[in-house]
Structure 1
Amino acid sequence: MNRRDQLIADHLNCVRWVIHSFIHVNENVCGLEYDDLYQEGCIALWRAAETFDEQQGAQFHSYAISVIHNHLLDYCRKVQSRTAAVVPLEDVETVRSIAPAWDGDSSLFVEQVLEYGKRTYSGVAKLGVEALELKIAGYSGTDIAKLYGVQPNHVGAWISRAAQKLKKDMFLVENSGTNP
């Protein structure tokens, strides 16, 4: 067995650990089931073994976890972007409350409002828009908090701040007769 194969065999548990620690497994979404995530994690582990340079003095375990984690996050984003977004009702209501008179296609409207927020805001309000986007994509507040390395109540505060700003801006847009 060559060095690469030995590294892979010795560190398969890293894949399982990353999935359980950082990734939201969703058995109801094709591609986000545990088996699919594990397979993608193994591909990332193989890439880590291929690209690992012992000369740099890093430990393979730490390097592999980083590569697997980043690969799985990218993979999850791709899966979520290609699946038709099913927006949870409470999140649609949060966005609809921003401009209650709007009566068009709600998924298009949600996308437009969030894009407007990402382009326009900074700081806590921008974090709130990003968090709301992740919630709509299926992440829980706890998952989002882990991604940003903060307490879950921070995420709720961010979303609240973003919703306040968006309501104010959408009120101005609604009264001016233009789209976001």
Structure 2
Amino acid sequence: MQEIGQNRNEEETDEALVKAFQAGNTEVFPALVARYLKLIRRKACSFREIFSLEREDLYQEGLLGLFDAANTYARDGGASFETYAGRCISNRIVSAVRRSASRKNSFLNNAVPIDAVTDLDAGQKTDPQALLESRDELDRVLRNAHVSLSDFERRALLLYLGGYRRAEIERRLGIPARAFDNAMARVRKKLRQK
């Protein structure tokens, strides 16, 4: 019996499936997904090459865009459901890319997985030569930081490296959160250039 329903869904137009979905028949949504999965993948892949988002995350955003389209489509809007769904899918993926690339996510985008840090530390703690080399590298970075960073950036970096919380650093320096974020972004940029 389920096969007959599936065949019926394959014969129906997108608009008919959307109308049934909006009327409360959630069983038709998988048929819409099957029809639009190729479009979702194509739109997601166009952003996958540019940004560091996971493919599955982009697919999920595309599916949410299709879900939004199915919920909000109005035939009297003048566009076919295919056109409307394509716009909703694109908009949802673009919004996710923008959120990912925004400044407020910059700390997460530049983060190193904790597993990588613990793996590096494990081998270096027992090897005196590696410990000495890492100490020399740290000294070199700090010398470069001292030369290239402004006094304000140096103070912000020292408090940050000293383990102070963000709110405490802002209070000690008497600055708003945005100023601290901007200072740390400049520090990272300058240290990467060295």
**TM more than 0.5:** no
TM-score of the aligned structures, taking structure 1 as reference length: 0.42
Larger relative contact order (CA 8 Å, sep ≥ 6): 1
TM-score of the aligned structures, taking structure 2 as reference length: 0.40
Structure showing the higher helix proportion among its residues: 2
- Between Structure 1 and Structure 2, whose CA radius of gyration is higher? 2
